Amino acid sequence: MSEKFDVVIIGSGPAGYVAAIKAAQLGLSTACVEEWVDDNDKVKLGGTCLNVGCIPSKALLDSSYKFAEARDHYDVHGITIKGASMDVPAMLKRKESIVNQLTGGIAGLFKHNGVTPVQGRGKVLSGGKVEVTDKDGNVSVLDAANTIIAAGSVPVTIPPAPVDNEYIVDSTGALEFTEVPKRLGVIGAGVIGLELGSVWGRLGSDVVMLEALDDFLPMMDTQISKETAKIFKKQGLDIRMGTRVTHAEVKDGQVEVSFTTADGDQVEQFDKLIVCVGRRPRTENLLASDSGVTLDERGFIYVNDFCATEAPHVFAVGDVVRGPMLAHKGSEEGVMVAERIAGKAVQLNYECIPSIIYTHPEVAAVGKTEQELKADGIEYKAGTFPFAASGRALAANDSDGLVKILADAKTDRILGCHIVGPSAADLVQQVAIAMEFGSSAEDLALMVFGHPTLSEAVHEAALAVDGHAIHVANRKKRK
């Protein structure tokens, strides 16, 4: 007989493990199926985010940033450090320690909340069944009153640059370099490419980023994208737009990359090449032909606004469904689904989900961009404030960037916030909270912000929406 559960979840990344914990907290018998195993052949929880994505990359970003600050910028504070060097193996060891602490923490939370971890690859069958194939090839079946698919995503591969996990690597391999490449090529100047390029660039790599698109960070507000590009150029990242890679191969311990630009065909050599051109939903061998779950033309699982698939009592959340591939988006979808299974009428506000690039300075956004508002014919007002006018940012020697707030021209309701600058990830959340409560720009402008803080930049941008900024000259309103 198969084991019976109220909820069976496939995948233990941020979408899956959060859904599992919430379901168990709501009194539902819950199992979470995860394919990954650790060095001891035990199930390893946390998915891509905790093991080879969000968390390890942020560990390397922080370590590399501290090193670059000590090497290049502490002198402005009167601190002299001679001969600063980076012990790359020690940096990697710290990263692994953080990963193990957090993945172990999930295991502890599963035990505390009564979630049953199941090692194996899950597959959705018809009739409320989930097939599990463990690491040894043994097959079992779980009886699920409800199934939540949270299988995550995998890096996109491209034929011109086949990954060999030594010289040509994907985003996972780029977290494991044991020494700093002298010259590093990065295919893709999106979120992942910028973060990984920043890590190794800070540590001394000559980083060249090859991006096929003509526009830099097109999903961001255009003003923020342009400002970000200027900052990264000043940092030494060589970002080449409109550059299409046609071939890459290893020759004599170097990666020879052929690419095409407006100037014609070119060839350059790199010590390592990172391929990070995006991610795709991990849906191969996930669904039986009669499961009733359907995929769209891009391979994403089709769901409605509440993450329900077309199969009864089968849901899908996170990277396998529509929308941005963000860990926090998947987590909240997991919570929503668990709550709805338990009979609670909750829903997720997709308009207030922030997006973040963890470079330095950080880039963060929530809501509509200026170009989206123009395209939709929405009349709006904009207020900006530069960190160069922030006392706190100047005191920290961290004053690149700006805050931008967009509000409806008639109602003054906040429609979006876009930031490049110090602590942008945390600052944008303040505006996300305001937007969730339907706040106006005036609401933020009337609030008292602590001084001196970086948050004051948000306050001043809100004031600037109506030309009332105090610490920067206001734009004259058009008549």
**Residues assigned a catalytic role:** 451
Write down the H helix ranges in 73-165.
88-113
- Sign for the pseudo-dihedral over CA of 28, 34, 39, 42: positive
Phi, psi of 352 (to 5 degrees): -120, 30
Q: Can you point out the beta strands (E) in 198-237? A: 206-210
SS3 at position 127: coil
Do the Cβ atoms of 178 and 89 come closer than 8 Å? yes
SS3 at position 195: helix
CB-based contacts of 24, cutoff 8 Å, min separation 6: 30, 113, 114, 115
CA 91 remoteness from chain centre = 22
Pairing of strands 168-169, 183-187: unpaired
> How many CB atoms are closer than 10 A to CB 477?
8
Q: What does each C-alpha distance from 257 to 247, 277, 299 come to in angstroms?
A: 6, 15, 30
Overall size of the chain counted in residues: 479
